[in-house]
Amino acid sequence: MRAIVAFLVSARLIRWEEPVDDGPYSETLRRYACYLARERGLTPAAVRQYRDTAARFLAGHPDLCKLVAADITGFVLQQSRRYSVGSTKYLVTVLRSLLRYLHVVGEIATDLTGAVPQIAGWRMVGLPKDAPADDVRRLLQSCPRGTAVGRRDYAILLLLSRLGLRACEAATLTLDDLRWTDGEIAIRGKGSESRLPLTKDIGSALVAYLRVRRHAPVRSLFLRVRAPQGGLSAESIKAIVLAAGRRAGVALISAHRLRHTAATAMLRKGASLSEIAQVLRHRSPDTTAIYAKVDTTRLRAIARPWLGGSL
């Protein structure tokens, strides 16, 4: 029924919002979601994530009048056992937003945002995990390019592993983003637009896919193969990478790991960090600086000799 309803909504034949029962806080969460969308300008996906996290917190606290700082720290500690550092940082960001909103609208008497603990997580402590070239080759070879789905998946994997596209950027590509005359592809992500070179292998893969791409009432480049008609979502792109990894027998592969693979491949071919930042569309140079750790060629030039050993 979900697929049928989604098709009718996409065809604008019906209007439908799936009812959500959040108990006594249904109305509070509805107003909070409206506030995030209208006042904060969050995307529908972000609003949904904020709302789900807020619902999880409120479900364990039936009486907001009795909410104290210990309840907040206890919730964060409990959730931190289940999630990574990055996910827990996102959780406390949502929690601060929710508590600030509840205080402003009068749901709670005291502003409890100061009770939300900081999450210890330091930048630049790890190494970017790229996939070996042999694994990427097996990943690409696992796509059955005799079918439309195989050609689609092959083109997606090339974009992720060669140009370092994010899953959300690959999902938002449209037919209009392919600038064949200029040999470029327009990438929109995180509020900005940039252009990257349309290399020969990527261009050939896209042409092969477009020749078998079915017609649809949308301009999305990569389409679903099941009804309702429409473009792929970011989660679908991630699922395609995972499925290709299972077919190829490549463990621990993900869309973001292919992005790291593209960056380290450019680094090994002599690209500078500023050039890599330009291709990956990083806002801050600090984000790209982590790849300096895997540049062993340049690191050898500045490393000091270790007593009793050699580099």
The one catalytic residue in 259, 260, 268, 283 is 259
Hey, is 187 helix, strand or coil? strand
Catalytic residue among 51, 166, 238, 257: 166
CA distances, 303 to each of 123, 290, 306 (Å): 22, 17, 9
Annotated catalytic residue: which of 48, 129, 190, 298?
190
Number of H helices, E strands in the chain: 14, 3
Active site residue 256: yes
Task: Tell me the three state secondary structure of residue 49.
Answer: helix
What's the one-letter identity of residue 300? R
Asked about 162 being catalytic, the answer comes back as no
SS3 226: coil
The residue from 137, 224, 256, 268 that is catalytic is: 256
The span from the CA of 77 to the CA of 89, in Å, is 12
- The single residue of 25, 50, 209, 291 carrying the catalytic annotation is 291
Active-site residue, 291 included: yes
CA 24 to chain centre: 32
Per annotation, catalytic residue among 96, 137, 247, 282: 282
- Any idea what DSSP says for residue 303? P
Task: Give me the residue label for tokens 């078998």.
Answer: 212
Task: Reply yes or no on whether 215 is catalytic.
Answer: no
Active site residues per annotation: 166, 190, 256, 259, 282, 291
